[in-house]
Chains A and B, each alone.
Chain A
């Protein structure tokens, strides 16, 4: 099993016009191969920066990030984006000018890894598994937002990534849709355990999905607390009413609340 990520002393300093903004500082944690890791933290704590660095959209200024023991990126070592680290974006990035089937098959086809027919067969199977059979010929604009998110998950998986990077992918969904999409995501996760790096603001989402929740501090982002979620898999929504879930949520809430307050106060100061 591969796809283990190791974040070692990662720092990121933005330097616009000589004003140093420290986004990340001495950030270290590991994600085991196949682990579902959810990072939560106050707004502006650098979660998305970290994800962008792993994805290859941004660079780090100190430390290094390794995958399966090989250094992916370090200062001065630019990492290019690649299908081994697929990103599912906050606002969705399905190509609206292409049909669902083109969208989900474009990765392996463009890479030349699968023929169009093979890719389509695989796509049909995965789509059916997320309750999306028969929508292959439709355009993303014809789908509901919950369906689009599921299509996007399928598209990411079709790229056979080692790590799946999800940046608040369900933020725009209403609570009911979100709970359905959560179960679909877990189903896909259980199908083939791939490493998942998932960013969110939402604690319920974090605990429901994760093997481990990493709580980050307010800027500069460091690890505040790591909470191992020992809820049994496969999980469904009923887990949210268990006593163990309640304990975990309380633990996480306490850590995050402290940071949220700090972030808020810093924000007030910076505005003043």
Chain B
């Protein structure tokens, strides 16, 4: 009951958004001169999604996001935990980490293009960087805010350091791990589009970012918006997936 009410409100909100957009086009607001009305965009969407080129662009971008993201999380979680639990590791590597972290992922693009032999690896590596730093810093935050009572209780009950790590530190940090993973997922779609725009121009490599840029260069404005909507939806689907996995893995938090 409550869910369906929320669903209806959501649908109403989207409908309202399109209605305002259409109305704004009808009255010809000057600053919306170049923005086609929604029914034109919708036509373009319908056309575009029937072309294999579109799905190939979606697939290429999604694959890049998935690979860069998975590597980012897979390395980010253990390194974040290591920063949290090991004084030596932290003293040694945290300064390097903190110096590299503020560099925006896109600032890595020129160097990555030179460094990696292919565009594919360039884009994936930039997505990796974006998610990696976000995950590490969140996981570290999770370990740092861990309540000492749990550690003391575990040690009192005879847990070995490895048992404490596995049975206490990792599960206690898991909410932060998933928060970091979800934030990182949001970033990856921002990054993939920008990285593709910058790095795949003229290379024939297509992803949604390149598709959008080609639409801009070719002056096909509805296609730009189709690409934007696609990116929004793809990001939504991927984030929802991460939230779902996180909610399931930390379901002990939901019970009250």
**Chain A interfacial positions (CB closer than 8 Å to B):** 55-57, 80-83, 85-87, 89, 91-93, 95-98, 106-107, 110-111, 138-139, 141-142, 159
How far is B174's CA from A269's CA once the two chains are assembled, in angstroms?
A: 46
Q: Name the residue on A nearest B172 (C-beta).
A: A97
B171 touching A95 by the CB < 8 A rule? yes
B252 touching A96 by the CB < 8 A rule? yes
Q: Name the residue on B nearest A94 (C-beta).
A: B153
Beyond A81-B152, A139-B252, whether A97 also contacts B157 by CB under 8 A is no
B149 CB-CB contact with A under 8 Å: yes
Question: Which of A81, A110, A141 lies in contact with B252, CB distance below 8 A?
Answer: A141
User: What are some 30 contacts across the A-B interface (CB < 8 A)?
Assistant: A55-B152, A56-B156, A83-B157, A83-B158, A85-B156, A86-B157, A87-B152, A87-B153, A89-B149, A89-B153, A93-B150, A93-B153, A95-B167, A95-B171, A97-B172, A97-B252, A98-B252, A106-B154, A106-B159, A106-B167, A107-B157, A107-B158, A110-B160, A110-B163, A110-B167, A141-B252, A141-B255, A142-B256, A159-B157, A159-B158
Beyond A97-B171, A97-B250, whether A106 also contacts B256 by CB under 8 A is no
B152 touching A93 by the CB < 8 A rule? yes
Give residues of chain B (139-166) contacting chain A, Cβ–Cβ below 8 Å: 147, 149-150, 152-160, 163
Q: How many A-B residue pairs have CB under 8 A?
A: 72
Count the B residues whose beta carbon is within 8 Å of the partner chain — how many?
A: 23
Using A83-B157, A87-B152, A95-B172 as known contacts, list a sample of 7 further A-B pairs with CB atoms less than 8 Å apart, ordered by residue number in A: A55-B152, A55-B156, A83-B158, A93-B152, A95-B150, A98-B171, A98-B252
How far is B147's CA from A91's CA once the two chains are assembled, in angstroms?
A: 11
A55 / chain B contacts, CB cutoff of 8 Å: 152, 156
Beyond A96-B252, A97-B174, A142-B255, whether A110 also contacts B150 by CB under 8 A is no
B33 CB-CB contact with A under 8 Å: no
B87 CB-CB contact with A under 8 Å: no
How far is B160's CA from A98's CA once the two chains are assembled, in angstroms?
A: 18
Question: Which of B157, B171, B250, B253 lies in contact with A110, CB distance below 8 A?
Answer: B157
B168 CB-CB contact with A under 8 Å: yes
- Binding site secondary structure of chain B: helix
**Chain B interfacial positions (CB closer than 8 Å to A):** 147, 149-150, 152-160, 163, 167-168, 171-172, 174, 250, 252-253, 255-256
B154 / chain A contacts, CB cutoff of 8 Å: 106
B158 touching A110 by the CB < 8 A rule? yes
A89 / chain B contacts, CB cutoff of 8 Å: 149, 152-153
A111 touching B158 by the CB < 8 A rule? yes
Interface centre among B153, B163, B168 (most CB of A within 10 A): B153
A141 / chain B contacts, CB cutoff of 8 Å: 252-253, 255-256
Interface centre among A56, A82, A89 (most CB of B within 10 A): A89
How many whole Å from B143's CB to the nearest CB in chain A?
15
B167 / chain A contacts, CB cutoff of 8 Å: 95, 98, 106, 110
A96 / chain B contacts, CB cutoff of 8 Å: 252-253
How far is B159's CA from A111's CA once the two chains are assembled, in angstroms?
A: 7
Q: Name the residue on A nearest B256 (C-beta).
A: A141
A82 touching B156 by the CB < 8 A rule? yes
How far is B152's CA from A192's CA once the two chains are assembled, in angstroms?
A: 25
